[in-house]
Amino acid sequence: MSISTATLIIDGVEITVPEGTTILEAARDNGIIIPTLCYLEGLTSYGGCRLCLVEILGSPKLFPACATPVSTGMEVITNSERLKDYRKMAVQMLLAERTHICSVCVADGHCELQELANQLGVDHVMLERHWTAKEIDSTHDFLVIDRNRCILCTRCLRICDEIEGVHTLDLKLRGKDAEVIMDLDEHWGNSCSCTSCRKCAKVCPVGAIYIEGEPLSHTKRKDIAEFITERRERKRKQ
Amino acid sequence: MSFLDLDELLIELAKKIQVVYSPIADVKTFPENVDVTLVEGAIGDEDQIELLKKAREKTKILISLGDCAVTGNVPALRNALEDSDRAVLQRAYVENVDVNPQIPNDVPKLLKKVRPLHEAVKIDYFIPGCPPPADIIGYVLTELLSGRTPNMEGRSKYG
C-alpha cells in the first residue's frame, strides 16, 4: 500500500509530507517553528488563538497553519513582517481581554502567553485593557480555576473530552464573555463527572487552571496529550 | 530599587549624568530641558497624571520603567472592582479603621481606573519586568548616553 504524498514549499524549502498533514505539522517536522498557543499535539485542532496564521501565495487571506491541510504546489510563508505584526496584535488582544497580571500569577515564568510575548517582542499592550472580576472557583479538593486568567484556548475542554473521555469541562456564553464551566455550570467541587485526573491543569498554557499547593514547573506537561495518544495508537496496532 | 542593582555601573553613570529630579531629591518643580526621564509606577491619581504630563513636556526621552508603569500591574488590581476609586478608600480609611474612620479630602483625587503610562502620554522606551532587570536599564542608559538608539528587540521580559 502506498501513501499518497503532497509536495509544497514552506519558507523556500521544498517539503514532501503525507496527504492530510497540516501546514503546522509539515513545518515542525522540517524544523520550521510556527508559534502556537491553542494547538496541542495529540488533540484535535481548534484554530482559535490565531498565532499560527500563515500566508499562502495567491490568496489575500491568512490561514491557521494548525487547521489547514497541505496540498501539492502550495507556497507557504510563515514569518513575514505582516505575520509578525498580526501575531503581536493577537498576543496583545489576549493580554488586554482579561486581568493578566504576571507578578501575582502562579504561572509567572512558566506561562506560554508570557513566553510568546517575549519571543515576539511585545513589551507593552497598546489596547485599553479590560479588567475582569470573574469568579475564582476553588471548591474542588485541589484543582482551582481563575477565569480572569483564561485565554479560551480550550485545551482543557479538549483534553477532558478527547483523552480523559468525560467532557466535564465546556464553554458557556460567547466571545469575550465566554467561560469554562464544569458540568451544567456547577461549582467544580459539585461536579459529578470530574475524575480529578488533573490533565486540564497540566495543559493550561497560562495560570487559569492550577493545582493548589503544587509548583507549576511540576504541573505543566504540554506533551501529555501527545504521549497518551501515541500510546493508544501503539496499543491499537498490537 | 532595580536602578540600584546597576552596582558598579552607577559609578560610571555618575560621571556622565546629573540627576535633576527625583521623588527623593529636594527639587520641588520639574526642571526644563531634561534629556531622559525614567518613570516608574502606574497612574492612580490626578497629581500623578499632572506630573507625568509635565515630565513629558520637558523631557526628550521618556522611559516607562517596570511593570506598574508598563501594564498597571498590582496597583491596577483595583480596576476590577466596581467604583474602584471609592471602594479602595472605603476599605482603607473606613472599614479597616477603628478610631474616627473617615475618607480624607486633602489627598489627590483617585482616578476611576489605574492606567499604564502610555495611555496618558507618548512613551519612547518600555522596560517591563517586576522588578525590571538591572542589565536592561543599564543597557538602555549606556546606549542613550553614547548617542545610540537602544534596540529593545529580544530584550524585554513581559511581566
All residues of chain B having their beta carbon less than 8 Å from the beta carbon of residue A111 are 159
Q: Please give the pLDDT value at position A236.
A: 83
Model confidence over B117-150: pLDDT tens digits? Answer: 999 999 999 999 888 999 999 999 999 999 999 9
Q: Please give the pLDDT value at position A98.
A: 93
Model confidence over A182-233: pLDDT tens digits? Answer: 999 999 999 999 999 999 999 999 999 999 988 888 888 878 888 888 888 8
* pLDDT higher than threshold 90 for residue A55: yes
Nearest-Cα residue of chain A relative to residue B71: A124
For residues B112 and B88, give the distance between their C-alpha atoms in angstroms, rounded to a whole number.
Answer: 11
All residues of chain B having their beta carbon less than 8 Å from the beta carbon of residue A148 are 80
Mean pLDDT of the A118-135 span: 90
- In chain B, residues 35-94 whose CB comes closer than 8 Å to chain A: 64, 67, 70-74, 76-77, 79-81
* pLDDT higher than threshold 60 for residue A1: no
pLDDT, mean over chain A? 92
B62: which 3 cell numbers? 521618556
Q: Please give the pLDDT value at position A221.
A: 80
**B154–A103: do the CB atoms touch at under 8 Å?**
no
Which residue has cell 482579561?
Answer: A98
What element of type H or E holds A97?
helix A81-97
Sheet containing A143-146, strands listed edge to edge, beginning at the edge strand earlier in sequence: A136-137, A143-146, A209-211
Per-residue three-class SS string for B8-76: CHHHHHHHHCCCCCCCCCCCCCCCCCEEEEEEECCEEEHHHHHHHHHHHHHEEEEEEECHHHHHCCHHH
For residues B15 and A220, give the distance between their C-alpha atoms in angstroms, rounded to a whole number.
Answer: 48
B133: which 3 cell numbers? 532587570
* pLDDT higher than threshold 70 for residue B57: yes
* pLDDT higher than threshold 80 for residue A132: yes
For residues A227 and A233, give the distance between their C-alpha atoms in angstroms, rounded to a whole number.
Answer: 10
Interchain contact A124–B (C-beta under 8 A): yes
Model confidence over A75-122: pLDDT tens digits? Answer: 999 999 999 999 999 999 999 999 999 989 999 889 999 999 999 989
* pLDDT higher than threshold 70 for residue A2: no
Strands A62-64 and A143-146: unpaired
Q: Please give the pLDDT value at position B157.
A: 79
Beta-carbon pairs below 8 A across chains A and B? 70
CA distances from A163 to A21, A203, A212 (A): 21, 12, 23
Mean pLDDT of the B46-68 span: 95
The pTM of the full predicted model, rounded to 2 decimals, is: 0.89
Nearest-Cα residue of chain B relative to residue A96: B71
**A129–B72: do the CB atoms touch at under 8 Å?**
yes
Side chain identity, residue B123? I
Report the length, in residues, of chain B.
Answer: 159
pLDDT, mean over chain B? 91
Mutate to test the interface with B, among A81, A84, A103 (most CBs of B within 10 A): A103
